[in-house]
Amino acid sequence: MHLVARRAAEFGVDVEGPVRFNLIKAMARKDQIVAGIQKGIYAGLRRKEGAITFLRGEASFLSEHEIDAGDGRLSFDKAIIATGARRATPAIQGLDQVEYLTNRTALQLQELPRRMVVVGGGYIGIEFAQMYARFGTQVTLLGRNVHLAPGEDPELVDALADYLREEGVELHTGAPVLRVGKADSGITVTAQVDGEERTFAGDALLIATGRVGNTDALGLASAGVATRGRGFVKVDDQLRTSQPNIWALGDVKGGWMFTHVATYDGPIAALNAVKDAGKRTDYRVVPRVIFSSPALGAVGLTEVEAREQGYDVVVGKASAVSGRSQAIGDTRGLLKAVVNAKDKEILGFHVLAPHGDDLLHEAVVAMHDHGTIDRISKSIHVHPTLSELVKSAAKAAR
């Protein structure tokens, strides 16, 4: 819709009349897709009905071998905690006095807000700010850190910030929120911007400021399971908790909180719990993506992190300009390869480009088993494809 509304004529497509967005239909399509995914998950459980007893309810530990399952007690030899994480509520003055959206409720709206203030410069804040701005909402994004997406390559996230501004998002970084309040027409948000207090008005407020472990009602102390900051379960590299017969996986242990990490953790925890397999986690090559446009994908260390860890690095850069990106009409972006100068091992790869989420996986595969940059730079890439951009960055790092 964004492309058609702004640039259809450039591609030789004539559109008569305005391009309109129907939020209700978009939400209905989303709900249908989610319902299908959930149905598939539960169907998988039912296919294993003889081996799996599936119970719904609120569970809490009574001891290291017993659980209160709501309808009664269950005893167990071994247990795996996979309760995930939830949105953290920041300590912002006045927040308890106003209605606000979360990443869940913002996907349930039936009416498009005219103005939205997004608090949080991480991946959730970025994705929702751009999405609603493209829907037609006037969006203000406030991030407390100097850069968006702290922990990612500053050069790439600063470029992404510029792209968001070009699309009409009013974006402020280094802007901690001081307080929120009610107004006749909605809400107000006061933040410190460039050393001064500024107040922003909106019809809707989205809070996207981090997550905490879903453990406060689990009775972990009764089971002897230790936690660390923000309620996350402490585990070793075999996903074993402080209680030897209990393991934890996924978001509930903190760290990289992605579905694909939980999927990676699952077999390790299961094999260790059931077969004492001694499998160990290796999070050196965990891909991460911000589903913006262009997408920002990364794996491994940033240039700054690599140097801080004592590596002598070579950094290869390539712009996102290629024959294919020009053909699709989006040449925004930059790719960076971070390579150990000593042995050419790929330490990190960072992609800001159209379909950057898919392009990243070439680097993920190449980094497996400590691969070198030659795996990418010396391989043949089809022309014209976006994948050539990955090779260009790799060649620049040789």
**Does some domain include residue 194?**
yes
Same domain, 170 and 201: yes
**Does some domain include residue 140?**
yes
Average pLDDT over residues 280-304: 97
Q: Residue for token digits 């009905």?
A: 49
Does residue 261 contact residue 323 with C-beta atoms inside 8 Å? no
CA distances from 5 to 14, 16, 21, 212, 283 (A): 11, 11, 10, 39, 41
Give the pLDDT score at 111: 95
Give the pLDDT score at 70: 83
In this model, does residue 11 exceed pLDDT 90?
yes
Instruction: Give me the sign of the Cα torsion angle 302, 304, 307, 308.
Output: negative
In this model, does residue 222 exceed pLDDT 90?
yes
Amino acid 160 reads L
Same domain, 116 and 200: yes
Give kind and range of the element (H or E) at residue 271.
helix 259-275
**Does some domain include residue 168?**
yes
CA atoms within 13 A of residue 326's CA, in its CB half-sphere: 7
Domain with residue 303: its CATH number is 3.30.390.30
Domain finish residue from 209, 230, 265: 209
Mean of the per-residue pLDDT values of the chain: 96
Domain finish residue from 253, 275, 297: 275
Buried b (16+ CB within 10 A) or exposed e, 297-328: bbbbbbbebbeeeebebbbbebbbebebbeee
In this model, does residue 49 exceed pLDDT 90?
no
Amino acid 318 reads A
Give the pLDDT score at 224: 98
CA distances from 353 to 40, 272, 316, 331 (A): 32, 39, 15, 7
Same domain, 226 and 123: no
pLDDT in tens, 160-176: 999 999 999 999 999 99
**Does some domain include residue 30?**
yes
Q: How far apart are CA 281 and CA 198, in angstroms?
A: 46
Amino acid 326 reads Q
Lowest mean pLDDT among 32-36, 48-52, 125-129, 319-323: 48-52
Q: What is the DSSP letter of 139?
A: E
Q: Calculate ∠ Cα 199-201-204, nearest 5°.
A: 135
Q: How confident is the model at residue 54 (pLDDT cuts 50, 70, 90)?
A: confident
Q: How confident is the model at residue 184 (pLDDT cuts 50, 70, 90)?
A: confident
**Does some domain include residue 281?**
no
Average pLDDT over residues 1-15: 92
Same domain, 126 and 204: yes
Q: Measure CA of the first residue to CA of the last residue in the chain; give whole Å.
A: 40
Same domain, 180 and 322: no
Give the pLDDT score at 56: 87
Same domain, 128 and 226: no
**172: nearest Cα among 204, 195, 205, 202:** 195
In the chain, % helix, strand, coil (3-state, to 5) comes to 35, 25, 40
Strand boundaries in the chain, DSSP class E: 60-63, 66-68, 73-75, 79-81, 85-87, 115-119, 138-142, 170-172, 177-183, 186-193, 196-202, 204-207, 211-213, 246-248, 288-290, 295-300, 313-319, 334-340, 346-353
Q: How far apart are CA 83 and CA 91, in angstroms?
A: 24
Report the DSSP pairing between strands 186-193 and 295-300: unpaired
Amino acid 125 reads G
Same domain, 76 and 128: no
Q: How far apart are CA 31 and CA 54, in angstroms?
A: 24
Catalytic residue positions, numbered:
383
Same domain, 205 and 99: yes
- Distant-in-sequence, close-in-space partners of 3: CB < 8 Å, separation ≥ 6: 329
**Does some domain include residue 282?**
no
pTM: 0.94
Same domain, 237 and 254: yes
What are the beta bridge partners of residue 60? Answer: 68
Domain finish residue from 187, 209, 231: 209
Residue 77 lies in domain: 60-87+212-275
Same domain, 8 and 65: no
Give the pLDDT score at 234: 98
Instruction: Give me the sign of the Cα torsion angle 275, 271, 45, 225.
Output: positive
Average pLDDT over residues 90-108: 96
In this model, does residue 334 exceed pLDDT 90?
yes
In this model, does residue 72 exceed pLDDT 90?
no
Same domain, 350 and 325: yes
Average pLDDT over residues 196-218: 96
Give the pLDDT score at 297: 98
Phi-psi region of 397 (alpha: psi -120 to 50; beta: other; left: phi over 0): alpha
Q: How confident is the model at residue 39 (pLDDT cuts 50, 70, 90)?
A: very high
Total number of domains constituting the chain? 4
**204: nearest Cα among 188, 193, 224:** 188
CA atoms within 13 A of residue 239's CA, in its CB half-sphere: 35
Give the pLDDT score at 185: 81
**Does some domain include residue 280?**
no
SS3 318: strand
Q: How confident is the model at residue 335 (pLDDT cuts 50, 70, 90)?
A: very high
Same domain, 11 and 77: no
Average pLDDT over residues 75-87: 96
Domain with residue 165: its CATH number is 3.50.50.60
**Does some domain include residue 283?**
no
Burial group, residue 82, by CB count within 10 angstroms (0-12, 13-18, 19+)? middle
Q: How confident is the model at residue 388 (pLDDT cuts 50, 70, 90)?
A: very high
